[in-house]
Amino acid sequence: MSRSGVSKPRMGRPSLVDREAIVNAAVEIGFDRLTMSAVGSLLGVRHSTLYRYFATRDALAAAAIDRCVDSVPWPEPEGDWREFLRATARSYWSLYERHAGLAVEVSALRTISAALVDIANRSGVVLLDLGFDAEDAVLVIDMLGELVTQAFLGAAAASPQAPATTEEPDDVGVVDGSRRRREQLLRPWLDHYDVRLRDVLAEVIARPPVEQFEKKLEIFLDGVGRRAGDR
């Protein structure tokens, strides 16, 4: 076993691998550590073997994203666009929370996931059927995805710089770790804010990340409602 926790290739006859096994290994490794070498090591084969199935690392990442997206339950339309968008946002949140580095992978635009395209298309069609015009439907779905992704991009950016402390358990999730780091950075500066903002800001930075996201989501939905005439 290597220091990274990934098994080194075994000597002798290599294990039989196929596309399914390779994608499963990529998902297990996680997008923040995904390389062809890491997948090969986990499967006990030379990484050059993987190129028989995937021409590039990004092609493998796209297939792994598809697998992750398909594993998450996505909402069905029920005639209420607000509840549909809330449920869709929560599905995105669950997707990114389950898979480390996925939000960064998606935002980097190095590849495209057919499953994510399908979700965006289906969601846009739901809004069309509920009376949204095409441009608003496209923009609303795009902005909704960005709202969730941004929460996890911030977490990914903060995580490497977050100082280790004896009080912080090892199993703190990356998003909550980001919230703790943000609180550490901002709390000493609270006195620089207007007194009318200070107490509210202190409360905001201490909130659980999912609760903070839900509040932002409601502001977003209120704006969509005004734009759409609150259908």
- For residue 62, what are its two tokens? 């796209």
Q: Is the pLDDT of residue 151 over 80?
A: yes
Considering the domain architecture, whether residues 173 and 146 belong to the same structural domain is answered as: yes
What mean pLDDT value characterizes the chain?
A: 85
Q: Are 183 and 206 in contact (CB under 8 A)?
A: yes
Question: What confidence category does residue 186 fall into, taking pLDDT thresholds of 50, 70 and 90?
Answer: confident
pLDDT for residue 167: 47
Considering the domain architecture, whether residues 118 and 59 belong to the same structural domain is answered as: no
Considering the domain architecture, whether residues 195 and 220 belong to the same structural domain is answered as: yes
Could you tell me if residue 7 is inside a domain?
no
Considering the domain architecture, whether residues 35 and 128 belong to the same structural domain is answered as: no
Considering the domain architecture, whether residues 111 and 208 belong to the same structural domain is answered as: yes
Considering the domain architecture, whether residues 87 and 161 belong to the same structural domain is answered as: yes
Could you tell me if residue 9 is inside a domain?
no
Structurally, the chain folds into a number of domains equal to 2
- For residue 68, what are its two tokens? 């992750």
Share of the chain above pLDDT 90, in %: 60
Helix (H) or strand (E) holding 109: none
Considering the domain architecture, whether residues 39 and 79 belong to the same structural domain is answered as: no
For the chain, how far is it from start to end, CA to CA, in angstroms? 58
Q: Is the pLDDT of residue 11 over 60?
A: no
pLDDT for residue 162: 42
User: What average pLDDT does the segment 87-112 reach?
Assistant: 91
* Residue 14: DSSP 8-state: P
Read off the pLDDT of residues 100-129 as tens digits, 9 standing for 90 and up. Answer: 899 999 988 788 899 999 999 999 999 999
Residue 96 sits in a domain whose CATH number is 1.10.357.10
Instruction: Indicate the residue type of 126.
Output: V
Residue 24 sits in a domain whose CATH number is 1.10.10
Which residue segment(s) compose the domain that 43 sits in?
19-68
Distances (CA, A) of 85 to 27, 115, 199, 204, 217: 27, 18, 31, 23, 9
Q: Is the pLDDT of residue 13 over 50?
A: no
Considering the domain architecture, whether residues 35 and 143 belong to the same structural domain is answered as: no
Question: What confidence category does residue 177 fall into, taking pLDDT thresholds of 50, 70 and 90?
Answer: low
Q: What is the pTM of this model?
A: 0.80
Considering the domain architecture, whether residues 174 and 213 belong to the same structural domain is answered as: yes
The Cα 7–Cα 38 span in angstroms is 9
Considering the domain architecture, whether residues 154 and 94 belong to the same structural domain is answered as: yes
